[in-house]
Amino acid sequence: MLRSLYYALPPAMRFRARRLWYAPLDLWESISGKRDALTPPRGLIFTGGGDFRAQGDRMAEVFRRHAGLLPRHRVLDIGSGIGRIAVPLTGILDASGSYEGFDVVEMGVRWCQKRISTRFPRFQFRYVPLANDLYRADGQEADQFRFPYADADFEFACAISVFTHFLPDEVEQYLRETSRVLKPGGTFCATFFLLNAASEALLPGRTQFAFPHDHGHYRLMDERVRAANVSFREDWLRALAQGCGLGIEAIHYGYWCGREKGECIDFQDVVVFRRMK
Ligand SMILES: C[S@@+](CC[C@H](N)C(=O)[O-])C[C@H]1O[C@@H](n2cnc3c(N)ncnc32)[C@H](O)[C@@H]1O
């Protein structure tokens, strides 16, 4: 109910509503010194609820344990948001490692440049004005976007909670581009809502994340805001990744569809791809 009211607002209004809602708490945390320099005010965190720092730490640990992230890696963060992934990586990557992030929300990119790049110059962020009906009202087509990086530039790439807000043509373009900018043998860790026999059997009884709008190889949560949340058929993703030169090394299924939380490493399905040689 609250979620559908929220989606009914245009993107700029959603940002304003969040700022207003959290303004008293943000003011209190700022004057009482409860918030450190690498944690954004709650009203600016447009990338999801929960504990910003704890969620970032947990995902960085997933990268280390399940995807082989090393301190010397050059990392690409696709949809870097307001730094939830970048902040913990500042404590993992060493002087031989580096980080590039890009995002379509200018405010998030500017916050990261001001708070993170000034302290960690090996962490760089770019604003790319691409369309996404959840996050902005206008922009260029993401399904035509060429990443602004050279071929084989990175050892590691990630897209956390990004393809869950993409339509199929955008996923296809981003997998192709990720494959291009990864070194052969490089790793790509991305999250999805994957439709397969097990998850689809669990969906009918659910009130949230039931994805009622079926479009064949993908399902939408909301027809008005198509990027609100999107799920994809796992066999479609497997075939697409293969065609883009990305092998799927592992899938760690998440608890979004009602699996046992204690048996999952994340809410969303975590997919580890390997760039074929
Ligand atoms: C749920 S947030 C996750 C942000 C970040 N990955 C994290 O885990 O905190 C989804 C992000 O994808 C970004 N995004 C949406 N469309 C995009 C596109 N075409 N290219 C890059 N980022 C995009 C949004 O602006 C938003 O920051």
Q: Whose CA is nearest to atom 9 of ligand 1?
A: 84
**In the numeric block, which tokens belong to residue 224?**
């008005």
Instruction: Report the nearest atom of ligand 1 relative to the CA of 81.
Output: 27
pLDDT of residue 12: 87
Q: Whose CA is nearest to atom 1 of ligand 1?
A: 47
Q: What does 54-101 look like in DSSP terms, one character per residue?
A: HHHHHHHHHHHHHH---TT-EEEEES-TTSTTHHHHTTT--TT-EEEE
CATH topology of domain 50-275: Rossmann fold (3.40.50)
> Which protein residues are within 6 Å of ligand 1, measured from CB?
47-48, 78-79, 81, 84-85, 102-105, 108, 130, 132, 135, 142, 160-162, 165
DSSP 205: G
- Of 245, 255, 236, 241, the C-alpha closest to 276 is 245
**In the numeric block, which tokens belong to residue 250?**
């592992």
Name the residue of 42, 100, 132 to mutate for ligand 1: max ligand atoms within 8 A of Cβ: 132
Query: How far is it, in rounded angstroms, from Cα 43 to Cα 36?
Result: 15
Residues in the chain: 277
- In tens, the pLDDT along 86-104 reads 999 999 999 999 999 999 9
Instruction: Report the nearest atom of ligand 1 relative to the CA of 82.
Output: 9
Kindly report the backbone phi and psi dihedral angles of residue 269, in degrees, each rounded to the nearest multiple of 5, phi listed first: -80, 125
Complete edge-to-edge strand list for the sheet that includes strand 182-192: 123-127, 98-103, 74-78, 154-159, 182-192, 269-275, 246-252
pLDDT of residue 3: 72
Q: How much distance in Å is there from the Cα of 32 to the middle of ligand 1?
A: 31
CA atoms in the 13 A half-sphere facing the CB of 97: 19
Q: Which residues of 114-144 are buried (b: 16+ CB within 10 A; e: fewer)?
A: ebbbeebeebbbebbebbbbbbbeeeeebbe
- List the beta strands (DSSP E) in the chain: 74-78, 98-103, 123-127, 154-159, 182-192, 194-195, 213-214, 218-220, 230-233, 246-252, 269-275
DSSP 218: E
Q: Whose CA is nearest to atom 19 of ligand 1?
A: 142
Residues of the chain with pLDDT under 70: 1-2
- Of 252, 255, 266, 270, the C-alpha closest to 55 is 266
Instruction: Report the nearest atom of ligand 1 relative to the CA of 166.
Output: 16
pLDDT of residue 1: 59
Query: How far is it, in rounded angstroms, from Cα 141 to Cα 146?
Result: 11
Q: Where are the domains positioned within the chain?
A: 50-275
Q: Whose CA is nearest to atom 4 of ligand 1?
A: 81
Q: How much distance in Å is there from the Cα of 166 to the middle of ligand 1?
A: 9
Name the residue of 46, 47, 191 to mutate for ligand 1: max ligand atoms within 8 A of Cβ: 47
Determine the distance from the C-alpha atom of residue 230 to the mean position of all C-alpha atoms in its chain, rounded to a whole number.
13
